[in-house]
Structure 1
């Protein structure tokens, strides 16, 4: 009798251990691996589609899918590579009736989406990373400058803030694949904020930045080609 109970318990544990780990690891929809390299395929792995639903957004956009909540994304552990991103943040067309003219960029910092209004009731939607708690902002600006593979000079406030946390930032990082600003940058008004690429694509969809709007390199290159200097940008 005792031997039978031990065998039953062992079988039950063997059947539950790994599924439970998978549920804890991926929580909501399983991640999609997206290459940070411009020459690679956009979608390398998609296990299943996330749950679909339709809702009316405050910006006048009909969403066909959205995350349950905005997350603060943590960096990977030292030595651990990451390239996962929820597939709902991949570019896609959506219906739009918010009243902004074609060519306007609308950034929803609550849901972490950027919309490029296309006209005829449509917009192009991209996933973005936005300001982490304490760095949120809203306003209307224009694109005053565009740059390919921009260099990065961290502002003095950021250098001081990170030094207090034990992290020393360089005074200057030249443009290239290792630059935090990624492949392209669109500068907003006279502010220090930009819409830019990233060398950390797994952070898209989270509250992760010091106020800048972060996109995958593939997506910011596409936006860069479609948006001229002078375009209106609405951050909400």
Structure 2
């Protein structure tokens, strides 16, 4: 076929294609380019899971009741004396109270929680006095974990107590220099250095580690920083678990508080 006839045939075929192909058709004499990729949609942002509800911060005091839970956020009375039901609203135990005349107001809390104390939870009994001390003397026998209040006539009231842990035990002679009713608790600065999470002060309440009453031991005019007091951990009575203080059931320390006065001799042996 001659060259002119070949060109003529190509022109005829091109004309026919123009009529047959859509108006927007394109013709390539080489491989067509690949189709443009579809634009990627940005992924929808994932919703962050809701934050987990954190438990309330509860700390433990390590003054005289290691292991006792004290709620430092609310400062509420989360402890309930064993054997005592929750008091009805407005019941005795939640009312403001006049302090006993011998209670130091700077160390006492004028709120009456005595109605929430189980007075059946007691260890007191009258025994032959083993101390040889004069009537009106308080004697603490740390080995026996007993406290004696000498009545005279060879008799004494005996109570079970908790005493100091090894390294914290204290012995000597002192006097009761201060009495407190539902005492507030101010940890010594040495304790705050060891446990900076402790509160600087806590008002008297059922969960206060000093319990219902406190008798502060002095040598002369110097506070020894040791005391005889109640507890919010009754299971500890009879053990060596305090930081040196003498701990009693709340019913027992209330009884002892009513027997002694400021200036009473205390012997810790």
CA contact (8 A) 2:118 2:251 kept: no
Cα distance in structure 2, aligned partners of 1:193 and 1:98 = 21
1:122 is aligned to 155
- Please give the residue correspondences for 1:159-170 in structure 2 after superposition, counting only pairs within 5 Å: 159-163=192-196, 168-170=197-199
**Unpaired segments ≥5 residues, structure 1:** 1-32, 45-88
Alpha-carbon RMSD across the aligned residues, in angstroms, is: 2.0
Alignment partners' CA distance in 1, 2:195 and 2:253:
26
Which of 159, 177, 190 is matched with 1:157 structurally? Answer: 190
What SS is found at the alignment partner of 2:140?
strand
Equivalent residues, number: 156
Deviations 1:31-66 (A, max 9, x none): xx954785465447xxxxxxxxxxxxxxxxxxxxxx
Tell me, in whole angstroms, the C-alpha distance in 1 between the residues paired with 2:210 and 2:131.
30
Aligned match of 2:237: 204
CA contact (8 A) 1:34 1:42 kept: no
In structure 2, runs of 5+ residues without a counterpart are: 1-80, 85-112
**Aligned match for 1:148, one of 170, 181, 187:** 181
CA distance in 1, matches of 2:125, 2:155: 10
What CA distance in whole angstroms lies between the structure 1 residues aligned with 2:130 and 2:193? Answer: 43
Q: Is 1:213 matched with 2:246? A: yes
* 1:176 maps to 2:205: yes
SS in 1 for 2:185: coil
**Structure 2-normalised TM-score?**
0.54
CA contact (8 A) 2:160 2:237 kept: yes
2:214 corresponds to: 185
Aligned mates of 1:227, 1:183 — CA distance in 2: 15
Q: 1 CA distance for matches of 2:235 and 2:215?
A: 21
| 2:199 alignment partner, SS class | coil
CA distance in structure 1 between the aligned counterparts of 2:131 and 2:165, rounded to whole angstroms: 26
Are residue 95 (structure 1) and residue 134 (structure 2) matched?
A: no
- Secondary structure class of the residue paired with 1:158: helix
Q: Distance in 2 between matches of 1:176 and 1:188?
A: 22
Choose 1 or 2 for highest CA Rg.
2
- Return closer, same or farther for 1:41/1:181 CA change in 2, 3 Å cut-off: closer
